[in-house]
Amino acid sequence: MAHLSHRKFSILEAGSPRYVLSRKKAIGKSIYLGVAVSYECEGQIEWACSSYDGTEFESHEDTFISDPSSTGPEQLEKLNNIIIQTVRDFATSHNYRIQGVCIGCDEKTAKIVAADPALKCPIRSMCTRFWFDLDAAPCTYTLRGLSLTEEAASAARKVYDWFTPQFPGSIPRIAVDPETNEVLVDMDGHCHMLDLEHFEQTTDKPTWDKLLQLSEQCKQRKLKIIFFNSTPQGGGVALMRHATIRLMRLLGVDCRWFVAKPNPDVFVITKRKFHNVFQGVTQDEQYRLLQEDKDLWVEWCEQNFSNYWGQGKGVVDTADVIIMDDPQVSAIIPHIRKLNPTARIIYRSHIEIRGDLAGVPGSMQYDLWDFLWSGFISKTDLFISHPVAGFIPPRVPHAKVALMPAATDELDGLNKKMSPSDLEYYRRVFNRCAEDQGSPGISGDRPYVIQIARFDPAKGIPDVIEAYRAFREQLTARGMEDDQQPQLVLCGHGSIDDPDGTVVYEEIIQLLNQPEYRSYSQDMCVVRLPASDQLLCAVLRGSFCALQLSHREGFEVKVTESLAKYKPVIAYRSGGIPLQIEDGKTGILVERGNTKGVADALTHLYTDTAYYQDFINELRTKEQDSKRQQFFTPFQSVNWLYLATELAYKGNDEAVATNQPAVTDIEGTYMGNGEVRQWNAKYVREYWQNSA
């Protein structure tokens, strides 16, 4: 049992009128906790907790006296229960929202824990319980102070500094090493949300065994794997890399991630003259790549290489396998080759490249691809593409191609399970964001249809609005009252390397003011959200169904995330999306541009309960859970580790890319338009699954 030493938290009665009112209407006030633990003597643990909101502290101290009949780890688990319950009661009674917590101890206690491995697990368990039970991002730190209360207050200040002190505020600040521009994922490991056992519980045994086997090979051979891309936050590449590094760190694999120093002028080039041109969403000649654009982009890449990753930096010169995530920093490839000739370089293409247009001489796509391929990307050892043959541009030798879809993470803020109180909190946060942007919020008593996507010209947002208008007209024609009809939610994050976000957002707001949409505009929530994964997770979990009406799409992780939350998805038969949805079973595929078809599908789902439930039941089957595993972090990590162990020279000189004849014509596989033909490119998974 625990003996109360002295307590400063004031736990108000649950029926207090002030807090009953605030719980009904107000967003919980963000607070940050510090928890300090100390072994004072055998069988006794002193602990203190301090909350901090940026202006004042509230503290609590307790003494935990263990039961001699139980082991040390068992006693720590009991202590975990007491701490979790105490801070939950405190937060609930005050209508506080715990955004982050720093758990630490002094050096003396740290040595005791380090000397007894059995004591580490309960402390790590406390961290993960804060993440899963209270939706608070947990950090660990070695503390100093004149007293336990002072240490707890210091921890609270530390976690406040590490996080963004605004609602929702539960995302650690993105940390980047100023010397090398390495992304210090999870505050360089101080933020501890997950253990290996959590990943193991969500992964089938053959995949998990292969992951452990390959990670052990990497460690024995001391392989160093690094990723390069342009930005540490915003977009699918960044979210995948955070999850990848988190798992690799738990596995003990030497895997690092580097980003470029941002330059807004360069990002205009890489977004509008690389990304948008490759996708074919613009044919305007003003976006043709000019010589001055090439010069600026190449200079930027070379400066980043020289300043952060070059000779003597311990980055490129010590790496064994290097993965280039898309073209933004691909101009460093020749410099990598010169500095480290034995490094194996993988180029990963994650967007929908219009391979057909890239093969037409004189087109913007042809000239762009000729520039990037001839000078840079051709010097890589492997070309990773989404499993769509039409995405692979001309002149890429088939012997260099392997297929790998994008992935998301089941356990991060985008996908983890959430309590009803968490969902309600994030609904209020969403509505506050909507109000600040002059948009209606989500009603508490009406269903809603959702599309989560960046405000990007390829995402088909005008089609979503038109399909929703037609859907509402169909429901009205059936005699359904307006307040019984679903709302529409359009939302997404921004990205620092995407200058189109604000432009497209403003275009959508103007579109809602058109006469044909004005009568429904108060039921259409259009919001650019702050960088909170849980916020997106919550609004998606609360939806009736999801849309993904992208005109151009490589492989949309939001489709994966929707299906994993058992939300049927209505999507265009566009890009890689048809590979993610089983038409009529897990979602409904409609031809690109057929907004009436989307409206018909929405009406059928909304008015036919049995039809809708069939989708839900299918999405919940073990078969579908098994199929989705290939789109999650552990499976994706097996792909990367397999490639690393097969390609790397170190200790395995024969396992290198083969020099096969350059076959560059695209003869088959899924073409991106519903047509499927055979082709000789294989998924990476086929190699290691077959070898297993």
pLDDT along the chain (692 residues), means of 10: 45 48 70 86 78 89 74 78 91 91 83 71 83 93 86 91 76 89 93 94 95 97 96 87 96 97 93 88 85 96 96 94 94 97 94 83 92 95 88 85 93 94 93 93 94 90 96 96 95 74 90 93 93 92 96 88 97 91 96 96 97 97 94 97 89 44 45 55 88 61
For residue 46, what are the contacts with CB-CB under 8 A and spacing of at least 6? 5, 37, 38, 39, 40, 61, 62, 63, 64, 148
CA atoms of 642 and 232, how far apart (whole Å): 25
Question: Residue 328 carries which side chain, given as an amino acid letter?
Answer: Q
Cα angle vertex 219, ends 215, 221, to 5°? 115
Tell me what pLDDT residue 46 has: 83
CA 584 to chain centre: 28
Which regions of the chain carry the CATH code 3.30.420.60?
2-170
Tell me what pLDDT residue 623 has: 95
Tell me what pLDDT residue 200 has: 96
Decide: residue 665, CB within 10 A, 0-12 exposed, 13-18 middle, 19+ buried.
exposed
Tell me what pLDDT residue 106 has: 78
- Tokens at residue 237, please? 């590449």
The SS3 of residue 659 is: coil
The SS3 of residue 65 is: strand
CA atoms of 241 and 256, how far apart (whole Å): 9
Tell me what pLDDT residue 660 has: 41
Tell me what pLDDT residue 663 has: 43
CATH class of this structure's domain 2-170: alpha beta
Model confidence over 249-294: pLDDT tens digits?
A: 999 999 999 999 999 999 999 989 998 888 887 778 888 999 999 9
- Tokens at residue 219, please? 């460690």
Q: Where are the alpha helices (DSSP H) in 165-235?
A: 185-188, 196-201, 205-220
Tokens 């010069």 correspond to what residue? 295
- 225-407+636-691: CATH architecture: 3-Layer(aba) Sandwich (3.40)
Tokens 């490129």 correspond to what residue? 316
- Tokens at residue 135, please? 């939706």
- Tokens at residue 496, please? 């620092």
Tell me what pLDDT residue 11 has: 44
- 420-631: CATH architecture: 3-Layer(aba) Sandwich (3.40)
Tell me what pLDDT residue 64 has: 78
Which regions of the chain carry the CATH code 3.40.50.2000?
225-407+636-691, 420-631
Other Cβ atoms within 10 Å of 252 Cβ, number = 12
